[in-house]
Amino acid sequence: MEKVVKLKPVVKSYIWGGQYFQKFGKGDQDVISELWELSLRDNNSSIIASGKFSGKPLNEVITKEDVGPVQARFPYFPLLIKLIDAKRDLSVQVHPSDDYALKNEKSFGKSEMWHIIDADEGAGLYVGLKENSSKEEIERRLKDGTILEALNFVHVKPGDTYIINPGTIHAIGAGVRLIEIQQNSDLTYRLYDYNRLDKDGNPRELHIEKALKVIDYSKYNFKNNEGSVLADNQYFKVRRESFDGELEIKADGESFISFTIIEGNGTVDGEKAQQFDTFFLPYGAKCTLKGKGVVVLSEV
């Protein structure tokens, strides 16, 4: 690819999703839980929605050159970017590190970040432990149903950012909409799910034995990045930029750039760009975003 392209997401419907993104034309399903805006996962690839490759899955078109020199660090495409609408609480879960996952799951682990787009009054997130704990205490709390009492519950507002490192127990609460930037892994250990049943009337699967092996039992330390930089680690670099007029975007580091408009609208190199549209800018290319709003830009 030589130019920026708009992406059409993969739509996921789970029992906890809602109707927030339908009003922005992101799908016509009754329930939308996740929109995989940038995805190259097997059978779950984003679709190119502009340019000469329009209609083709991104994973059939993209090359190592499009990803950039950073590709040499990864045996797979490194990022997965989602828009999430939690109408109901998500399960309490934890992700393993690369070291554990490679040894035990033949997969990479999962680091992720959440940037809040919208939230109902009083809505929030469960993020990490309030105090230092132990495997024995967490196992007991899972059995007696008091696990939420051990977790930080933080009320959120648009613009807040939280980094979820491997080992951090976490859950997105009801009434929160966010953009999630993560390692390209879907490896999740579910600890607690409020005794809910799936669509077939069965209890949802839990992975307690595995989860207890990977939990970080230390007190969670909150850290907020300053300014426009939302995250900067070995897996992803994310920044938030406001635009009013023109914003030139250049993929001139070592990576492609994917960007999602989270407020406002405009055009990208003449292509109509609406709120919650996501674009892929190949390595070495540049484009111009015109209009007014806020954009979240992700690279590796």
Q: Which residues are catalytic?
A: 190
DSSP 282: -
Tokens of 162: 């939280």
Other residues' Cβ atoms within 10 Å of the Cβ of residue 72: 10
Phi, psi of 157 (to 5 degrees): -140, 160
Which amino acid, one-letter code, is at 7?
L
- Residue found under tokens 């209609």: 55
DSSP notation for 8-76: EPEEE--TT-BSTGGGGTS---S-B-EEEEE-EETTEE-EE-SSTTTTSBHHHH--HHHH-GGGGG-SS
Other residues' Cβ atoms within 10 Å of the Cβ of residue 197: 11
- Residue found under tokens 């690819």: 1
